Amino acid sequence: MRTLISSAIGAALLAVFAALGSGLISGVHEQTKAPIAAAERAAEAKQLLEIFPDASHDNQLIDDTIMLNANDPLLGLRTPGIGYRARVGSQVAGVILPATARDGYSGDIRLLVGVDRTGAVAGVRVLSHRETPGLGDKIDLKKSSWILSFDRKTLSNPVIQGWAVTKDGGDFDAFTGATVTPRAVVAAVKSAIEYSQNNRSTLFEMPEADES
Ligand SMILES: Cc1cc2nc3c(=O)[nH]c(=O)nc-3n(C[C@H](O)[C@H](O)[C@H](O)COP(=O)(O)O)c2cc1C
């Protein structure tokens, strides 16, 4: 009988602690959700401004958004993504497109590709990747300046065959012992520019700030 009572008390105590524990976790989650979202937004805004600096536009990039569909082969997004527009007055001076290279060495490489009205790359930044430290991670601006080699490039400069790594006869350097990662990024950036050209009227000619 005593054993029965003590195991019932044990079970009740366990249930109370479990409830307290999960309450505490969800409380902490609720409290940290807003600051985390704010920090993510600030980090994103910083990257957008690296691509289109303040002097190049007069709108708030982070607020001038356009929804982009998942699974368009040229952007490679696995879920719908958000693009951003840089404006001077009512004219769209450039767009920043999210793009996913699905063929990185270690899976998806998520990028932001800025393209201006003339079709030239304004800048490319890596949002996330799992490439190997010391090899594929040189796509990250914190590790090397390689990603800046896309600046000002267009689909005719270099010519289309040049949109490949040097090992494949193209114009973009690969890294020593790591060709897979830069090959994937070069292809994704080229496709994103193609997307911006194919969807020029939607991306560049919309007068309102956000039709999503
Ligand atoms: C443990 C390990 C990690 C590697 N990580 C990468 C990487 O992150 N990016 C990459 O391009 N290659 C990486 N490589 C090298 C690739 O396997 C490949 O040899 C290299 O990219 C050259 O590709 P290629 O034969 O197409 O020129 C890694 C190799 C090993 C053994």
pLDDT in tens, 139-161: 999 999 999 999 999 999 999 99
Q: What is the mean pLDDT of residues 202-209?
A: 76
- 60 with 151, same domain: the answer is yes
CA of 189 to the centre of ligand 1 (A): 20
Q: Whose CA is nearest to atom 13 of ligand 1?
A: 178
Residue type, 133: P
- 168 with 131, same domain: the answer is yes
Range of the domain at 15: 1-51
- Give the end of a domain, one of 51, 67, 91: 51
CA dist., res. 125 & res. 111, Å (int): 6
pLDDT tens digits for 60-100? 999 999 999 999 999 999 999 999 999 999 899 999 999 99
- 111 with 198, same domain: the answer is yes
Q: pLDDT category, 22, cuts 50, 70, 90?
A: confident
Both tokens assigned to 209? 């700030």
- Give the end of a domain, one of 9, 36, 51: 51
Pocket of ligand 1 (CB under 6 A): 105, 131-132, 135-136, 167, 177-181
DSSP of 139-165: GSTTT-SGGGGGTT--SSSS-GGGSSB
In a domain, 210, yes or no: no
What atom in ligand 1 is closest to the CA of residue 181? Answer: 11
CA of 36 to the centre of ligand 1 (A): 34
- 93 with 143, same domain: the answer is yes
pLDDT tens digits for 102-146? 999 999 999 999 999 999 999 999 999 999 999 999 999 999 999
CA of 188 to the centre of ligand 1 (A): 18
pLDDT tens digits for 35-57? 877 787 788 888 999 999 999 99
Given a cut of 50, whether residue 26 has pLDDT beyond it is: yes
> Exposed (0-12), middle (13-18) or buried (19+): which is 26, by Cβ within 10 Å?
exposed
- Return the pLDDT at 212: 45
- 107 with 195, same domain: the answer is yes
What atom in ligand 1 is closest to the CA of residue 182? Answer: 11
User: 16-20, 91-95, 198-202 — which is least confidently predicted?
Assistant: 16-20
In a domain, 113, yes or no: yes
The larger pLDDT score, comparing residue 5 to residue 173, is at 173
- 46 with 117, same domain: the answer is no
- Return the pLDDT at 211: 46
- 17 with 89, same domain: the answer is no
Number of domains in the chain: 2
- 20 with 69, same domain: the answer is no
What atom in ligand 1 is closest to the CA of residue 175? Answer: 11
**Distance of alpha carbon 118 from the chain centroid:** 22
- 102 with 185, same domain: the answer is yes
What atom in ligand 1 is closest to the CA of residue 132? Answer: 8
Q: What is the mean pLDDT of residues 178-207?
A: 95
Q: Whose CA is nearest to atom 10 of ligand 1?
A: 178
In a domain, 21, yes or no: yes
